Each structure stands twice: as C-alpha cells, then as structure tokens.
Amino acid sequence: MEDVLIAENFKTDFANLKNEIHKTIVGQDEIVNQLLISIFSGGHALLIGVPGLAKTLLVNTISKTLGLSFNRIQFTPDLMPSDIIGTEILDENKVFKFVKGPIFHHLLLADEINRTPPKTQAALLEAMQEKSVTSGGNTYKLPNPFFVLATQNPIEQEGTYPLPEAQLDRFMFNIWVDYPSYIEEIAIVKSTTSNTKIDVNQILNEEKIIQYQNLVRKIPVSDNVLEYAVKLVNKTRKNGEYANEIANKYISWGAGPRASQNIILAAKCHALIKGKLSPDIEDVKSVAKPILRHRIVANYRAEAEGFSIDRIIESLL
C-alpha cells in the first residue's frame, strides 16, 4: 500500500518537475522526459545536438528543480584526469592530502565530452559505474545520487575524439536534441530578448530522488515483458538467435546485456509516470530507441544504402 502511495506521489512530482523545467525550456518535451527517466532510473545520459539548442541550460535547470549540487566541466584537448577527479597535494605538514575535483557533485555536466582524449574520458569510467573515484590508492565515494549528463556536438569534427564503446555503454540514454519548431523558436527568441527573469523552484531533494529510484527498482515486471526486452536486444546481434534479415545485413556489432538491464529499468520508470504499477511492452518500445542507438554499430552497407541506426531499431521493434 505504501508503494502505491509513493507511486502516486512520483507521478505528481514528475508532472510538477516538467512544468517547472518548461518555465525556461521551450518544447523538447520528449528530451526532458528521457533525461528525467534516466535520473530516476539511476543512469547517465548523452545529449547530442548542434550548438545553441539550450543543452547546458536544460541540465542546469534540472539540477535546480531537483535540489542537487551542479558542476560543469568544459572538456578540452588539454584537460587532464586530475582536472576532473582531483589530485594529491603535499600540505604544510608534508602529508599527502587529496583535494577533490569538480566531479564531486550530484550532477556533473560534461560539456563537449568528445573534445578530450580517451585518457581523460576514461577518468569518468569508474565514476559512472562504481559511483566512486580512486586516487593515490584510496577510493573516495561520490555524492548520492550522482549523474553524468554529457553533451556532444555531432558536426564538429576537428579536434574531437570518438567516445570508446566502453564509455558509450555507460550512458543509459543517447538523446538527440533537434532544432526547435518555428513556433517554439518564436517563443524562445521572445523570452530570451526581454528583461524578464524567470526563476525555477526546487521540487524535490536528495532523499526524495533516492526514494523514487528505489521505487523504480521495486516495481514488478511480467515475464513476457522481460522476455520481449531481452529478445529485442538479442535481435541487434548479428547472426544471433533472434537476429532478423535487417540485423544480419546492416549491423556489425549489437548491444550487450547492459542494454537489456537499462531497457527494463527505463520501462519501469516510464510506466510509473503513466500511472501504471508494472511496465508493458509499449513502455519497452517507448524507451528502446535512445537506449539502443549508441550500442549498435552499423556497417558500411547500412551507410551506403541510407539505413540509419534509428531505422534499424524501428525494424527490430
């Protein structure tokens, strides 16, 4: 009974969160949905879009509404791992002391993550998986909850480093941020070229977020939904048990088990925001695309024939 009450509160708080975020963010409803689902499912998100689409403003606004500490790191080619996680220094007593880096916040915005070399990108791997960092042989826990929201510019090629597959797999969602519609752009220009200052209110706090994360994990999933999700991921693997003609023809590498786990978690959260206490196949379909699109590697044939990753996923669904 208590979980039912918490689920009702979650649905209400989720709606209030979105209303508050949309005070400063025009449109992008599905993007806001996916970001919040990743947070309440305990995952990280990668936002891909051209500059000027309010990706940084969106993340900053979300941190304020959630009542979380926020930090932004601008990833550059000369950024070092110690610039992210911190470093050991010799204090006045000649004793080594760990000075925490900017990663020690609830919400970290890794801006233009693909502009830094793989060595520095790798500094995030332990943080994203274990929620801790290691320096000088000592392990330091990160704040709870902890999320990495990273941005990437798809058209900037000079001075960029593709994210390794192990890094990409740590992100729950790969979210495409598209241009606003004509009507939305009018609203954006009107609101950002006047003296009006919009303040967003805090809706949740750390304790509530952790409570809702626990709720997402607790809700049950029927066997047929679980099997559908795992079968869907299996379909992405070339020559796999359930791979279809499209997969065998256009996919080089498919998604791993982490994709199945993330789909089920995200489907549970998606069900809760719709007022359901258990996810169905429609919930799985709703979250599948952003979870799978960065875990599938298409081959040259797909590129030559104009078969995008999203189109491949749609055929598998």
* pLDDT score at 156: 61
Averaged pLDDT for residues 286-298 = 87
pLDDT category of residue 96 using cuts at 50, 70 and 90: confident
* pLDDT score at 155: 58
Q: Which domain holds residue 234?
A: 220-316
Report how many domains make up the chain. 2
With respect to residue 119, please indicate whether it lies within any of the assigned structural domains: yes
Residues 60 and 131 both lie in one domain = yes
**CA–CA dist 226, 224 (Å, integer):** 5
Residues 187 and 253 both lie in one domain = no
With respect to residue 207, please indicate whether it lies within any of the assigned structural domains: no
Higher pLDDT, 106 or 200: 106
Residues 35 and 181 both lie in one domain = yes
Retrieve residue 180's tokens. Answer: 């606003």
131 Ramachandran zone, left/alpha/beta (phi>0; psi -120 to 50): left
CA distances from 282 to 273, 279, 302, 312 (A): 13, 8, 27, 18
With respect to residue 277, please indicate whether it lies within any of the assigned structural domains: yes
The neighbour count for residue 285, using CB atoms within 10 Å, is 18
Residues 227 and 185 both lie in one domain = no
Residues 36 and 104 both lie in one domain = yes
Residues 32 and 146 both lie in one domain = yes
Residues 24 and 78 both lie in one domain = yes
pLDDT tens sequence across 246-275: 778 878 888 888 889 999 999 999 999 988
With respect to residue 241, please indicate whether it lies within any of the assigned structural domains: yes
Averaged pLDDT for residues 287-316 = 83
Looking at the predicted structure, is the pLDDT value of residue 239 above 80? no
Residues 54 and 166 both lie in one domain = yes
pTM of the model: 0.86
Residues 101 and 228 both lie in one domain = no
With respect to residue 208, please indicate whether it lies within any of the assigned structural domains: no
Letter string b/e over residues 173-200, b meaning 16 or more CB atoms within 10 A of that residue's CB: bbbbbeebeeeeeeebeeeeeeeeeeeb
With respect to residue 287, please indicate whether it lies within any of the assigned structural domains: yes
**CA–CA dist 95, 90 (Å, integer):** 5
Residues 187 and 224 both lie in one domain = no
